[in-house]
A and B are shown apart, each in its own frame.
Chain A
Amino acid sequence: MIHSLFLINHSGDIFLEKHWKSVISRSVCDYFFEAKEKAAEPENVAPVLQTPHHYLITIYRGKLFFLSVVQTEAPPLFVIEFLHRVADIFQDYFGECSESVIKDNVVTVYELLEEMLDNGFPLATESNVLKEMIRPPTILRSVVNTLTGTWSNVGDTLPTGQLSNIPWRRAGVKYTNNEAYFDVIEEIDAIVDKSGTTVCAEIQGVIEACVRLTGMPDLTLSFMNPRLLDDVSFHPCVRFKRWESERALSFIPPDGNFTLMNYHVSSQNLVALPVYVKQSISFFDSGPCGRLDITVGPKQTMGKTVEALMVTIHMPKAVLSANLTATQGSYTYDLATKVLVWDIGKLNPQKLPNLKGSLSLQAGAPKPEDNPSLNIDLKIQQMAISGLKVSRLEMFGEKYKPFKGVKYLTKAGKFQVRT
């Protein structure tokens, strides 16, 4: 399926290549570079490209292109999903997925890639399994490595997880402190139009888990109001039958961090947006200038504070500079990318934050046809905006009492205000 992989940085240098079948010359990437050249933004490069003899399937993540070469028919999503999994594993191993980190850990990266695919077909993609075979770098090991060069990356135990019915969990896990944490994170995707009416809004959530439990615990997580969940997708560990019959999550968890489930809150429920935005952006016909005035206020926050509030605006190309004053927080305007970022921070309902001032336009340029839309970022701690609540977590199969915790967080997803 996947023939080769090339990692390409933002400026178009191939800094890593790996082949799972015969070697393919890196000149195959030229077709990609051509497409990249044509597309203004790296995001705009089509993920699937056709060349005379190969097919190139690319993902763009963390300013890196993961370009895979495919020679015959293969489901494109299969390849894309796998590439994202590779990026996830890098993230998991090295904390971030960037060129410098990959270059620093090139041997580990290579060992990982070797284990993840055999003849282009995924072999081991579970982080738990891989970590048994190839140890992630730690500070201690890198120190020892530089001093003696003897510490091995490769685990000397063989990955037993791969053979069991629960490949996501390694055997013989032991902790002195047994803990299970669940983060219920919800994101609001919304489009609000000029007049402040909600064009569309929906909530999607994810339950991230961090489970450090000894042995083979069998957990059951139940909700107060599972009816809210309209559409769900699960980590393979979740027993689907139990969900269908009882609407409870029953699973033997992987060890460490993992995504337990993703869900979508049924669209019948009206979504209460936590903030409103009053804005006016206008460009004058007379003279190269414009005016901007934005105020953000709380709408439905259920008594919680809105934090990490941020407004991002992609300005029209003609906007040269911005001369603004913010009553709260600070703003930056990047001249190269034409992005205005107003970092507000905590929203104070008594004193609404406001950003006001003038924009100067390139002289002679025609006045921008339309106004840029605002992208809102925010966080609300200790609240799931849909109202979803975990009722309890039970553990079977082990004797000890684990420490359990659930945290809620609401974030803005793709929250856009049109102007």
Chain B
Amino acid sequence: NSGTKIHGNRCDGGIKCLKQASNATTTFLCSAAQPLSPPSSVLRNEDLKEMLESNKESLKLEAMKRVVGLIAKGKNASELFPAVVKNVASKNIELKKLVYVYLVRYAEEQQDLALLSISTFQRALKEPNQFIRASALRVLSSIRVPIIVPIMMLAIKEAAADMSPYVRKTSAHAIQKLYSLDPDQKEQLIEVIEKLLKDKSTLVAGSVVVAFEEVCPDRIDLIHKNYRKLCNLLVDVEEWGQVVIISMLTRYARTQFTSPWKEGASFEENNEKAFYASDSEEKSERTEAEAYVMDPDHRLLLRNTKPLLQSRNTAVVMSVAQLYWHLAPRHEVNLVTKSLVRLLRSHREVQYIVLQNIATMSIQRKGMFEPYMKSFYVRSTDATHIKTLKLEILTNLANEANISTILREFQTYVKSQDKAFAAATIQAIGRCATNISEVTDTCLNGLVLLLSNRDETVVAESVVVIKKLLQTQPTQHSEIIKHMAKLFDNITVSMARASILWLMGEYCDRVPKIAPDVLRKMAKSFTAEEDIVKLQTVNLAAKLYLTNSKQTKLLTQYILNLGKYDQSYDIRDRTRFIRQLIVPNEKSGALNKYARRILLAPKPAPVLESAFKDRDRYQLGTLSHSLNSKASGYQELSDWPAVAPDQSVRNVEVVEPVQEWAPSVGKTKKLKSDDKFYSDNEEEKAEEESESSEGSSSSSSSSSGGGKMVADVYSRASFQVTAPSFGPVKTYELLHHMTGKGLSAKYHFPRQPCLHQPGMVAVQVTLSNGSDRSLEEIHVGDRSPASLNIHCFNTIERLEPEASVTVSMGIDFSDSTQAANFQLCTKEDGFSVSIQPAVGELLMPSSLSEQDFSREQGKLLGMNETSATVAMATANASSQAVKQRVLSVANVGEVPSGQDVAHR
């Protein structure tokens, strides 16, 4: 669990293994083809299999087409996998493409077999044709098999540096696929994203921003340097890319610029005003005091998105509209109105979304859409949800000036055959009536007229709305209540009847004569009423009993008696409760005194407001806004910062920093000279590839022995090899004095760079003479394997008895733990000895920061990585102890760590 730099080995190991596996493909498939056919399967699958295995291209193609037909229908075709996968390398493009379709669909279910196709894609990734490279990467990254994660990673990295922007675009898509397959790759993927964000191609821009949004939307810092470039490229990016870039930049701008909406603050343009004809009017309103200065970058974004309002793509228009809504100074937002209204002529689904957004906007900014009011008039052919939204907007737009027009329009809607819509219109009228006091009476009268409507839904809705209206306007409405009482006999909808009864009870003091009469009627028909009406009857009776007990005492008692024996327990309960509450008797408790205050308390009026009232908490145009609930993955739009963060972060140096990933010709040459330096090992060259030559040469001179490996990998940043970490020195026996005829030898690893030759591990050997005579000419003799590269110590001419001498030698273990065998010779004898290095001794610490470390670590995954769990005694749990232990087995250095629990 203490991650050390042990993973210094073999980057290409994983690929090698897979290549072997794919070599075995042919043999395996031949055997798999026959025995895999299950007897239960349908005959048709058998036929298809036969066709796929035939030699005729046309038959194969025909079979694949049928298979794809099966997939399209959602039928299971997974058992054909072995037969299909064989054709992955076919020369026929269509056949190949269909096989790809199949592979991507079923690879997840047949992981082992899917691996067999990998080598084909790896080969295709190296094709000179960019489309073939791109499609290979597309399919490779679409195969959701966790084992190939390192291969995908490698392919993505390579593709991200490809010459072709199309391939780079594909790699941006692949990033998201890999991320969803293995989120642990995040850090490395962010690096690739960072690099792709720098890309200047319009093809790549959209795709990489999608990847950014998916993998690391919170890494706003990656955008700084690319912000201006993205703004400038925007117009030329393909339309889908525009949508994601705009929505990302909206989020970005809200964190980086100050609010242009300051109350009373004037507006000042600090760059060329000549750009804007429309700015002239703003000049006039400018004041000296406290001028708000818009960041030129903020202006750049607004300016460069504006032409996109003319896009044919509705999503682009919507995203620009939301950008203006969230970012532009108030008076500029009106720019988007016309375009949004234009979208209303598009498909029904588009209308739906656009209307939703307009509904939210029109609550805050009536003025924006008022000139276009007629565009929201409802047609009888509109879908119900469209009608309701239009109604909502019209209601939002209503003001003193236009209310009469709107009400006339509403009158038509009330007559609609779509009764749900008619009911919604009545609600809307109610809202207009409460919002605009001038028309309250008109509306009320209109609604009263509707009470004589033949349609029950309309009547019921009217009664309910009137009830609400009367509550908000508790004066001079006895006329209406009287009118409703007259209508009462004709109204059959129970909800409406109940509402009228409630009104009677609530305002019984205003209709003192009518209310008891209504109660009398109700007493007659009580048993035939719906429950809801019965409940309100009981309420009415109770209220009347309290206010006018002289007239209604008997009636109330009669109704309470009826209620007592009702079938519904609700009504029985209510009756019992009311009786205890209002009729004083010896059993009734203290509540009786408060009956009047309980039943006739002033009730707050219901608030009639837009259903879109609270939607503005979501960014416009988002799925969350449409659903009015937070969708997963929704990125909150932050509030404007009070003080703008540093603007200079977006400055880009004119001279591009040296591109790490695309080495210039000069560098390559230098590298070659280094290669000679490393005459001994080929495989490391691959790892170095594009490293800066400077780094590797400096490190190679300073590093030594086994340390070289790690140092090489890290050389690009020209890491310093640190002083040996101080650990306990462990001494091993090389030669026992019994076998050595008195000569004994012990060795240890001093953990120092080998002075003799980089690439060697320094070993210190202590020779001592245990015999009683002096030994002469101690030297290193034959070695095996013969190629073993040892830097020997100088021959020791003479070693006296009981004397010992320490010599140092260098051994090149070639980064393996294979023992170095050699002979230790004296003048008379030769003794075969061997030094077996521990893995830990082959390493070499280098000092680097935590970030550098994690970045380098990210490059060594897959086969280079090993993890294990170690059970630790509590005594060892302290970080000191852990370090001690690790140092005792490996020559590593410590990287300063931000976390307490991780040691690097």
Contact = CB atoms under 8 A, between A and B. Distances in A.
Given A21-B180, A107-B98, A77 B314 contact: yes
Contact of A75 (B93, B455, B622): B622
A163 B624 CA distance: 35
A346 interface: no
Contacts of B58: 148-150
Interface stretch (A91-99, A229-237, A356-364, A387-395): A229-237
Interface string A1-28: 1000000000000111111011100100
Interface stretch (B81-89, B165-173, B576-584, B653-661): B165-173
B421 to A, nearest CB: 11
Interface in A73-132: 73-78, 80-84, 106-107, 109-111, 114, 118-119, 121-123, 125
A106 B73 CA distance: 9
A209 B353 CA distance: 29
A50 B93 contact: no
A17 B72 CA distance: 5
Interface stretch (A41-49, A216-224, A290-298, A323-331): A41-49
Contacts of A1: 210
B105 A19 contact: yes
B381 to A, nearest CB: 6
A106 B417 contact: no
Interface in B143-157: 144
Contact of A77 (B235, B307, B315, B339): B315
A335 interface: no
Given A23-B105, A106-B69, A370 B416 contact: yes
Nearest to B100: A114
Nearest to B629: A50
A119 B312 contact: no
A369 B210 contact: no
A234 B308 CA distance: 10
A150 B415 CA distance: 62
B379 A191 contact: yes
A200 interface: yes
A48 B377 contact: no
Nearest to B62: A149
Given A77-B314, A121-B207, A156-B93, A44 B384 contact: yes
Contacts of B706: none
Nearest to B339: A231
A61 B465 CA distance: 38
Contacts of B632: 71-73
Given A48-B627, A106-B68, A149-B58, A80 B349 contact: yes
Contacts of A76: 353, 621-623, 626
Contacts of A367: 454
B631 interface: yes
Contacts of A149: 58, 61-62
B318 interface: yes
Interface in B210-250: 210, 235-236, 238-240, 243, 247
Interface in B612-664: 621-624, 626-627, 629, 631-635
A233 B310 contact: yes
Contacts of B374: 199-200, 202
B128 to A, nearest CB: 12
A167 interface: yes
A173 interface: no
B790 interface: no
Contacts of B629: 50
B74 interface: yes
Given A16-B73, A111-B97, A191 B377 contact: yes
B317 interface: yes
B726 to A, nearest CB: 51
A154 interface: yes
A367 B417 CA distance: 12
Interface stretch (B114-122, B340-348, B799-807): B340-348
A110 B629 CA distance: 34
Interface in B373-425: 374-375, 377, 379-381, 383-385, 409, 412, 415-417
B315 A316 contact: no
A155 to B, nearest CB: 8
A153 B61 CA distance: 11
B623 A59 contact: no
Nearest to A120: B176
A372 B415 CA distance: 10
Residue from B180, B203, B349, B634 whose CB has the most chain A CB atoms within 10 Å: B349
B129 A158 contact: yes
Contacts of B65: 107
Chain B residues touching A, range: 35 or more
B261 interface: no
A77 B415 contact: no
A314 interface: yes
A122 B244 CA distance: 12
A262 interface: yes
A22 B453 contact: no
Contact of B631 (A17, A22, A26, A73): A73
Given A17-B74, A70-B623, A234-B310, A119 B173 contact: yes
B893 to A, nearest CB: 41
Contacts of A317: 417
B92 interface: yes
Contact of A114 (B97, B381, B384): B97
A163 B165 contact: yes
Given A47-B353, A73-B635, A81 B623 contact: no
Interface string B316-340: 0111000000000000000000110
Contacts of A199: 374, 377, 409
Contacts of B377: 191, 199-200
B385 A46 contact: yes
B215 to A, nearest CB: 12
Contacts of A50: 627, 629
Interface string A194-220: 000001101010000000000000000
Interface in B168-204: 170, 173-174, 176-177, 180, 203
B488 interface: no
B412 A75 contact: no
Contacts of A110: 68, 71-72, 101
Interface in B728-778: none
A366 interface: yes
Given A17-B74, A46-B385, A191-B379, A119 B177 contact: yes
B93 A77 contact: no
When A and B form their complex, which 4 residue pairs have the shortest distance between CB atoms, in order from nearest? A72-B633, A370-B415, A200-B374, A154-B94
Given A73-B635, A77-B354, A80-B314, 17 more contacts: A39-B384, A60-B348, A81-B314, A84-B347, A121-B210, A122-B238, A150-B61, A152-B93, A163-B164, A163-B203, A200-B375, A231-B338, A236-B239, A236-B312, A240-B307, A243-B310, A314-B417
19 contacts: A17-B73, A21-B177, A39-B384, A46-B385, A75-B243, A75-B315, A76-B626, A77-B621, A109-B72, A119-B142, A119-B176, A121-B240, A148-B58, A152-B61, A158-B129, A232-B310, A233-B310, A259-B312, A367-B454
Interface of A: 1, 14-19, 21-23, 26, 39, 41, 43-44, 46-48, 50, 55, 58-61, 70-78, 80-84, 106-107, 109-111, 114, 118-119, 121-123, 125, 148-150, 152-154, 156, 158-159, 162-163, 165, 167, 189, 191, 193, 199-200, 202, 204, 230-236, 240, 243-244, 259, 262, 264, 314, 316-317, 366-370, 372-373, 375, 413-414, 416, 418
